[in-house]
Structure 1
Amino acid sequence: MPTFRKSLLAALCLIAVIVILRASRSSDLPNAPGYRPVQKIFEEKENAQAHPETQGKKSKERQQQQHLGATATAPLRERLRYQFPYDLAPSFPAYIWQTWKYQPSSFWFSEELRVPEASWTDMNPGFVHEVIPDDTQRDLIKYLYGMVPDVFEAYDSMPLAVLKADFFRYLVLLARGGIYSDIDTHAIQPVIHWLPEKLDKSTVGLVVGIEADPDRPDWADWYSRRLQFCQWTIMSKPGHPILRDIVAHITEHALRMKRAGILKKGKMDRTVVEFTGPAAWTDAVFRYFNNPEYFNIPAGDKNITYEDFTQQVDYRKVGDTLVLPITSFSPGVGQMGAEDVDHPMAFVKHDFGG
């Protein structure tokens, strides 16, 4: 019957429209496809080794390209760019990365950390939340950076756990993206609330917060930089140039000190803060903001400095990087203009457990 056929056709069209709409919105969901738990990452590698015939043509071509890129004599930054290309358009990966000595399921996991650790899962139920224990970190970095062996060598040669912990956050975000946050942080608001609704998410590749803005004459007695960016919580898409730069920067200095025989506790020519900590991270962010490769900087124009962010109380977007005020990742500290934890822009609370 014509009427029945028209009704059937209309129903099919409606179903198709619904499917298309859902597919078009899937990349905006927190559990966007394409990112797997750590165990799945290792399983993928094992399956590929056990059943090479099941790999698609594109996968084989990528492996061949990675092999060529890893053995090339190109500078480290170029090899990192090749291995971890940066694509601004996709959504932020739905990963939450944390590290600790033990997994939360372990009897030895500290009781005082259970509430802050659980807050990340509770606030972000669609995200893959991974707490990487010490005995897994090395294997994960070796897997992710197998094609860039000097990076893994630098990580594996670090003489202090705090250096590895600092380095790990940059490494995992460069390779996989998502959010890194220290194990002693509390999620106050869901991650999807961190970026303003009016902002086009496809124009943001990294989110960083201000850690310290000490407007006092003796600031150098307390901090390494007049304004420091927070590195206990970072949000990024894979391959971001700031992450690529700091990974290369740390690797180069680590291998330099190793060759000189001073990459040892008590012998390094850089402090932890300057080598891998907030000073190194802050410098990397400002290097990016003032790099003519990424920004159109007119001749004679002044550099972007702390003066452009001091006393910031709202969002500030610089290129593809969103800078949050001190309240966002340091609420309740009672100084430098930070508001309390109930402020609308308070997203993460840090317990400073060391």
Structure 2
Amino acid sequence: MFLSNRRPTFKFSSIVTLIALVLVFCFPSYIWPVTDGEAIRIPIPAPSSQTTASSPKATPSATAFPEKIWYKLGPRGVTEQARKWIDSCLDINPTHKSKFMTDLSGDAYVKEHFTHRPDIVNTFLALPFPILKADFLRYLLLFNEGGIYFDLDVSCEGLPIHDWVPEQYKKYAGLVVGWEFDVGWWDGFMRQFATWTIMAKPRSPHISVMLDDILEGLQEKTKEYNVTIAELTWTMVGDVVDLTGPRRMTRSIYKSLKATLGDGFDQEDIAALYEPKLIGDVLVLPGYSFALSSNHYKPEDMQGPALVTHHFDGSWKNDHGGETADPVL
């Protein structure tokens, strides 16, 4: 038997195959698709086990919550008491820019930024009552630019906004809401999120659902009474909380989460909270976060601090649906 002294030859294709196998087994965290002859390295998504158990189908967000605080002024401006409440929030959040909207600037903002949605612009401008416009405007501002919205009668309790979202949720949360009514109420009561404090990243799909639901609700009113939006009376409007306020927002978020998560969402999963819980990209805060006085926690059940206090100084609960330029006698 003779041994050949010839060196084995390999075809070029065999070498390429060998290199490819080495890359696959040695570098499993990346793939290298080729586009126009140039290699692009694309990270493989993290497995779902790395997301929190309480956030089904949560997707990391590349953006942070914008450092912007929104307020809406009535025609009488800011009272001395309201200024103290406002300052309690601005003083502990020095990196946040504040923006005070008026009736005129609110109208101008909607006309400028929602030209692609004439249904929104026309409806908003025609709304006959301040509270309806104030509710609608807060959702429009948060949808377009994000940030945090405060009513004028909200004070902050010392914890900066940067620390409101637990670290493990920061890259997943896109909308932050807190229960107004949750713990210590009777069976069968209707839970709702507070609208006096809302935090969002721009283009939240859940806020988009709110906007469309408000438009639909208002159109139903006009059809019911055979009037235009501008001709709606206070009696026709009915329950503002249900039409544009907290109950509307709560139902729309439920609806949006159900559409997004399907069987992965059950509203009972976010009831009776004692600590923040992330569902999809919605972070739900316990009742003590935004509405301590409206809930009934035992001291030992509170897993965190109250973040804001709502002083219930709103001026919308009258036949005019809000503050007027001159005192109404």
State the TM-score, normalizing by the size of structure 1: 0.65
Aligned length: 250
Q: 1:218 to 1:325 in 2, by over 3 A?
A: closer
1:92 deviation in Å?
0.9
Q: 1:72 matched to which residue of 2? A: none
Superposed, 1:128-277 pairs within 5 Å as 128-188=97-157, 189-197=159-167, 199-213=168-182, 215-217=184-186, 225=190, 227-258=191-222, 260-261=226-227, 263=229, 264-268=232-236, 270-277=238-245
Deviation at 1:270, TM superposition (A): 4.5
**1:172 deviation in Å?**
0.6
Separation in 1, partners of 2:299, 2:70: 26
Higher gyration radius (CA): 2
Change (3 A) 1:267 1:87: farther
Residue 97 of structure 1: aligned partner: 70
**Which letter maps to 1:136?**
S
Deviation of 1:242 (Å): 0.9
Q: Which residue matches 2:94?
A: 125
TM-aligned CA distance change 1:286 to 1:296, over 3 Å: closer
Amino acid at match of 2:266: I
Structure ranking higher in helix proportion: 1
Q: Provide the rounded CA distance (Å) in 2 between the counterparts of 1:262 and 1:270.
A: 16
Quote how far apart the aligned CAs of 1:343 are. 7.8
**Which of 317, 323, 326 in structure 1 is aligned with 2:278?**
317
Deviations 1:258-296 (A, max 9, x none): 4630641235365211110111011011112211xx225
- Preserved CA contact (<8 Å) 1:88 1:237: no
Relative to 1, partners in 2 of residues 1:328 and 1:145: Cα closer, same or farther, differing over 3 Å? Answer: same
Q: 1:348 to 1:339 in 2, by over 3 A?
A: farther
SS state at 1:239 partner: coil
Contact 1:100 1:132 in 2 (8 A): yes
Whichever residue aligns with residue 143 of structure 1, its letter is: E
Q: How far apart, in 1, do the equivalents of 2:185 and 2:85 lie?
A: 32
Cα deviation for residue 256 of structure 1 reads: 4.3
Conservation of the 8 A alpha-carbon contact between 2:111 and 2:121: yes
Q: CA deviation at 1:204?
A: 1.1
Q: Unaligned 5+ residue runs, structure 2? A: 1-58, 315-329
CA contact (8 A) 2:178 2:194 kept: yes
CA distance in 1, matches of 2:187, 2:132: 27
The DSSP-based 3-state class of the residue aligned with 1:114 is helix
Stretch moving more, 87-96 or 261-270 = 261-270
Q: 2:266 aligns with which of 291, 304, 326?
A: 304
SS in 2 for 1:123: coil
- Three-state SS of the structure 2 residue aligned to 1:126 is coil
| One-letter code aligned to 1:135 | L
Helix, strand or coil for the counterpart of 1:147? Answer: coil
Q: 1:284 aligns with which of 252, 274, 282?
A: 252
SS at match of 1:203: coil
Alignment-mate amino acid for residue 159 of structure 1 = P
Superimposed CA distance per residue, residues 128-172 of structure 1 (whole angstroms, 9 cap, x where no aligned partner): 111112221111111111221110111112121111111111111
Taking the aligned partners of 2:89 and 2:303, their CA distance within structure 1 comes to 19
The verdict on how the C-alpha distance between 1:122 and 1:276 changes in structure 2, with shifts beyond 3 A counting, is same
1:34-73 equivalences in 2 (<5 Å): none
Equivalent residue number for residue 346 of structure 1: 306
The CA RMSD measured in Å over matched residues stands at 2.6
Letter in structure 2 aligned against 1:140 = Y
**Contact 2:65–2:146 (CA under 8 A) maintained in structure 1:** yes
Give the distance between the partners of 1:150 and 1:87, measured in 2 at CA: 32
Secondary structure of 1:297's aligned partner: helix
Dislocated runs of 4+, deviation >6 Å: none
Distance 1:209 1:286 in 2: 14
Q: What TM-score, normalized by structure 2, do the two folds share?
A: 0.69
Whole-Å separation in 1 of the counterparts to 2:154 and 2:170: 25
Q: Could you tell me whether the CA contact under 8 Å between 2:177 and 2:193 is conserved in 1?
A: yes
Displacement of 1:121: 1.5
CA-CA distance at 1:234 after TM superposition: 0.6
User: 1-side partners of 2:66 and 2:298: how far apart?
Assistant: 29
Distance across 2 between alignment mates of 1:297 and 1:313? 23
CA distance in 2, matches of 1:338, 1:173: 33
Question: Is contact 1:99-1:133 (8 Å) kept?
Answer: yes
Q: 1:210 to 1:338 in 2, by over 3 A?
A: farther
For structure 1, the 5+ residue unaligned runs are 1-85
The code of the aligned residue for 1:247 comes to L
Distance 1:98 1:250 in 2: 21
Q: What letter corresponds to residue 297 of structure 1 in structure 2?
A: D
Partner of 2:85: 116
Q: Tell me the equivalent position of 1:295.
A: 261
Q: Judging changes above 3 Å, is the alpha-carbon distance between structure 1 residues 278 and 296 closer, same or farther for their aligned structure 2 residues?
A: closer
Contact 1:97 1:179 in 2 (8 A): yes
One-letter amino acid of the structure 1 residue matched with residue 218 of structure 2 = A
